[in-house]
Amino acid sequence: MPGFELFGNLEKKEVTDVLENGVLMRYGFDGMRNGHWKAKELEKELQNTFQVNHAQLVSSGTAAISVALAAAGIGAGDEVILPTFTFVASFEAVMMLGAIPVLVDIDDTLTLCPKAVEKAVTPKTKAIMVVQMCGSMANMDALQIISKKHDLLLIEDACQAIGATYKGKPLGSIGQLGCFSFDFVKTITCGEGGAVITNNKQYYTNADHYSDHGHDHTGTDRGAESHPFLGYNFRISELHAAVGLAQIKRLPEFLSIQKKNYSMLREALAQIPEVTFRTVPEGGIENFSFLNFFLPSLEITTKVSEQFSQQGIDGCFHYYNNNWHYVRKWAHLKELKSLFPVPNEVKEGLKYLQTNDFSQSDHYVSRNLSCLIKLSWTEEQVQARALKMVEIIKSIL
């Protein structure tokens, strides 16, 4: 999965361009650049890749979510529905704006359950944020119907699913706003970075200004620019953008390798009757960055996970007790362990976490193993890995 596995001459060339002209900031210093605008070039590549009108680079995937929500006017006291199985950044980005993350159950797609989403809608709900976890997607048709029915923003956190598609559309381009992460362990990486994509010109303009202290980016004199509204600093640097520019050009190469390695592992595991695989909605194509499968019980899954680790099968995650990705271990959220006072609206809005039953999510996450697909494996390594995984699972069943 991580693009850093295959760093090469293209990445070196793009970074060298930046170092030779000496301008590491994405804005200003026009005369020194010698025509190099890596962030602008990467934004154009993202527009083409994801078939959208606008792309705004930011400093991280977390920043992308906050910027996207802010660009759509979501803030204090607003409720944003998101899944119990995600990364902590999802609720952090919502809370950064004073909004309330409303966690709901997942289904066998390992993403938002549409029925759970429908039940969670209240007069305070302003957005549905679907997190396209582990390289695949939710039932996007069902979520679009719900969002239109209740006039809600549909935002895609596609940070882990770059390159996946649903009915021919790239993930991230289906909702009104899409968010990506280009951190060090993503399929394409900038080291640190993220992006907001949209077809809505006003959302793009808002994101462009908000992510750079409210600068309107009018004219060629940065010091003379106006500030139509308050903003913050979520800028990406030219160095980070340069790495991403090389990597986005290699995305088809990465996806092809991932699919090959994924398919070999899945074919081997499919021979075990007790192994089932996550549901990919009809019309969906994963990016093949993770192979997700279910075992019959929590006990069996725990034992398999332990044996994988002990016998050198790295990168296979049992998220049930993971404190980064699943609601069960988010004590810091449930107990609101904050360095600064949390707004009362958020305190009140999160009380549901003390009593909500997420047994449907437990049913899926407790039995799931999510195995990272590496780009650097040789075919022989994948075959050996597949044989070992099958051997371990059969020995425990």
Q: Which CATH number do you get for residue 311?
A: 3.90.1150.10
What's the pLDDT score for residue 220?
A: 87
- Distance between CA atoms of 127 and 114, rounded to whole angstroms? 14
Query: Is 271 found in the same domain as 191?
Result: no
pTM comes to 0.96
Last residue of a domain, one of 228, 250, 272: 250
pLDDT in tens, 26-58: 999 998 998 899 999 999 999 999 999 999 999
What's the pLDDT score for residue 1?
A: 78
Query: Is 233 found in the same domain as 99?
Result: yes
Query: Is 164 found in the same domain as 125?
Result: yes
Using CB atoms within 10 A of its CB, is residue 318 exposed (0-12), middle (13-18) or buried (19+)?
Answer: buried
Place of tokens 């390798």: 257
Query: Is 334 found in the same domain as 386?
Result: yes
Query: Is 299 found in the same domain as 220?
Result: no
- Distance between CA atoms of 225 and 215, rounded to whole angstroms? 6
Query: Is 224 found in the same domain as 296?
Result: no
Query: Is 198 found in the same domain as 94?
Result: yes
What's the pLDDT score for residue 82?
A: 98
Query: Is 284 found in the same domain as 177?
Result: no
Sequence-ordered alpha helix ranges (H) in the chain: 9-21, 38-50, 61-71, 88-95, 114-120, 140-149, 201-210, 238-249, 251-269, 298-310, 331-334, 344-349, 359-365, 379-396
Is 201 annotated in the active site?
Answer: no
Number of domains in the chain: 2
CATH code at 110? 3.40.640.10
Per annotation, catalytic residue among 186, 259, 374, 394: 186
Last residue of a domain, one of 250, 285, 300: 250
Query: Is 285 found in the same domain as 211?
Result: no
Last residue of a domain, one of 250, 284, 301: 250
Question: Can you list the residues of the chain whose pLDDT is less than 70?
Answer: none
What's the pLDDT score for residue 378?
A: 98
Query: Is 188 found in the same domain as 84?
Result: yes
Residues spanned by the domain of 205: 3-250
Both tokens of residue 4? Answer: 């850093």
Query: Is 196 found in the same domain as 50?
Result: yes
For the chain, the C-alpha Rg in angstroms (whole number) is 21
What's the pLDDT score for residue 289?
A: 98
Query: Is 264 found in the same domain as 184?
Result: no
